[in-house]
Amino acid sequence: MLPENALVGGEKEHQGTLQKQARQKLFLQHYSENLFNVAATAREIGISRRTVTKWLEVDQDFKERMEEMRESRLDAVESVLYKKAVDGDTISCIFFLKCQGKSRGYVEQPNKQFLEISKGPDFDQQQLDALVRGQLTDRSKYTEMLGLES
């Protein structure tokens, strides 16, 4: 005979699902309070970061709610940036236009610096062999062969 408080089969699964949903809800409530830091939020409510990662992998509803919160975070920062740009903050204006004004030509152009590569002296195989083997002991010959004369 089972104790009265024993859960069987589907009841136990249902209870586990309810607990998971309650933990997910608690996580989402604290997520923005912890500045969208997954590890800090997980620690605060007593679960592992890996648990959150697993929820994101297997629970589409939880994943969508997380993505909505991340989008809201981005919207909030964009609003602050836009307000600062409209209020005349130069750096905010530049950043905003580089990101949002590309179709109007506000694109940062990298400096196009060309390196001029000069071709060194041509060596024949005999000269190269002598250099590699260290057979040329006269420093003036090395200097002449390498074109190091000033």
Q: Which long-range contacts (CB under 8 A, 24 or more apart) does 143-148 make?
A: 145/121, 146/120, 146/121, 147/120, 147/121
Q: Is the pLDDT of residue 108 over 60?
A: yes
What is the pLDDT confidence band of residue 49, given thresholds at 50, 70 and 90?
very high
Closest by Cα among 55, 30, 58 to 45: 30
Cα angle value 71/76/82 (rounded, 5°): 120
Q: What is the DSSP letter of 107?
A: -
Q: Residue 9: is its pLDDT beyond 60?
A: no
Domain boundaries, the chain: 10-104, 114-150
Rounded-to-integer distance, Cα 45 and Cα 146, Å:
71
Q: Are 42 and 48 in contact (CB under 8 A)?
A: yes
DSSP code of residue 123: -
pLDDT bin (cut points 50, 70, 90) of residue 145 is low
* Interval 96-119 mean pLDDT: 76
What's the pLDDT at 133?
75
Kindly report, residue by residue over 35-45, the tens digit of the pLDDT.
999 999 999 99
Average pLDDT of the chain, as a whole number: 83
Amino acid type, 81: L
Q: pLDDT band for position 51 (50/70/90)?
A: very high
